[in-house]
Amino acid sequence: MINRNSKILPMVLLLVLSMIWGTSFILTKRGLESYSNFQLAAFRMLICSVVMLPFLFRAVKLINKKNIGPILIMNIIGNGIPALLFATAQTKVESSLAGILNSLTPLFTMIVGMFWYKIKTHWIGVLGIFIAFAGAVGLFSENLSTFFSGQNWYGLLIALATFFYGINSNNVKQNLKDMDSISITALTYFIIGPACGIYLLFSDFSYALSTPHYVQNFLSIAALAVFGSALASLGWNVLLKRTTAVAASSVTYIIPLFAIVWGMLDNEKISVIQLSSMGVILLGVFLVNKGKENSLKQ
């Protein structure tokens, strides 16, 4: 059994979250086969709010004038808008590009933390961020020539979403530090969830119902919401309590590793470059966490 105070727990959470979020791009792709980007994002937020409803009644008692602003930022900028941006982008871009652009999250987290919250970041951590991002790009280097051609410019929507994630990571770490992880997760969806429910009441599902696998695709969205959002958000909030915002966001570097592993299990070939890139990513993540330790000592 893992001790709650053990240094192993953050790494275990990092790996589990990477495994869960590593499947999110596939689930999003399946959901978009029947539902629009707005419907997918709305269902995702609504289902999350329902899952966390049992914990909401205790959490709302913690709301006050000081934290209502950060909670609104967490709902809208940290979850609602990024969910829509990702769903919209994945109607046009490949999952591989989405995975790489998602790896911008730690970089934006560091930038926002340094310039907005004046957080000191050790140079080792900064180096680790760029090394890990280089490794993420290397995983898909064979497809780089087509990354920014045609409609792949929709990838800029994902880049914008990661910027919002960077804002929210620092927002939760700095402004909601006195709130427990379960309450933070419950409050994450308590505003945006009902708003999405109202949107869905007036949404047109005629196209979705005309597709052959609309039930299975809805279940993909439900799985994305329950595991990829609600439970993963809870795990991420626990991780954020135990480490820095930049170190917690480094989970996005490990996500592509699991995508490659799933491919290997499905008899897909893996190149030497991809294997090397995995090592580079792990080195980068190690340096990010090493930089965190050195920053705390300063």
Among candidates 24, 180, 141, which has minimal Cα distance to 89?
Answer: 24
The whole-number pLDDT of residue 273 equals 78
> Residue 75 sits in which domain range?
8-297
Each residue's pLDDT expressed in tens, for the chain with a length of 298 residues:
445 455 678 888 888 898 888 888 788 888 999 999 999 999 999 999 999 999 999 999 999 999 999 999 999 999 889 989 988 988 887 666 677 778 788 888 888 988 888 887 778 878 888 888 888 777 666 555 555 555 557 778 988 999 999 999 999 999 998 899 999 999 999 889 999 999 999 999 999 999 999 999 999 999 999 999 999 999 999 988 888 787 787 787 777 777 666 656 656 566 777 778 778 877 887 777 676 655 545 5
* Beta-carbon-side half-sphere exposure of residue 232 (alpha carbons within 13 Å): 25
C-alpha 50/C-alpha 266 separation (Å) is 34
In a domain, 1, yes or no: no
The whole-number pLDDT of residue 132 equals 80
In a domain, 24, yes or no: yes
The whole-number pLDDT of residue 265 equals 65
Domains identified in the chain, total number:
1
The whole-number pLDDT of residue 73 equals 94
Our separate counts of H helices and E strands in the chain read: 18, 0
The whole-number pLDDT of residue 231 equals 94
The whole-number pLDDT of residue 163 equals 93
In a domain, 3, yes or no: no
In a domain, 23, yes or no: yes
In a domain, 240, yes or no: yes
In a domain, 172, yes or no: yes
Helices 105-115 and 251-265: angle between axes, nearest 10 degrees: 180
Q: Are 75 and 222 in contact (CB under 8 A)?
A: no
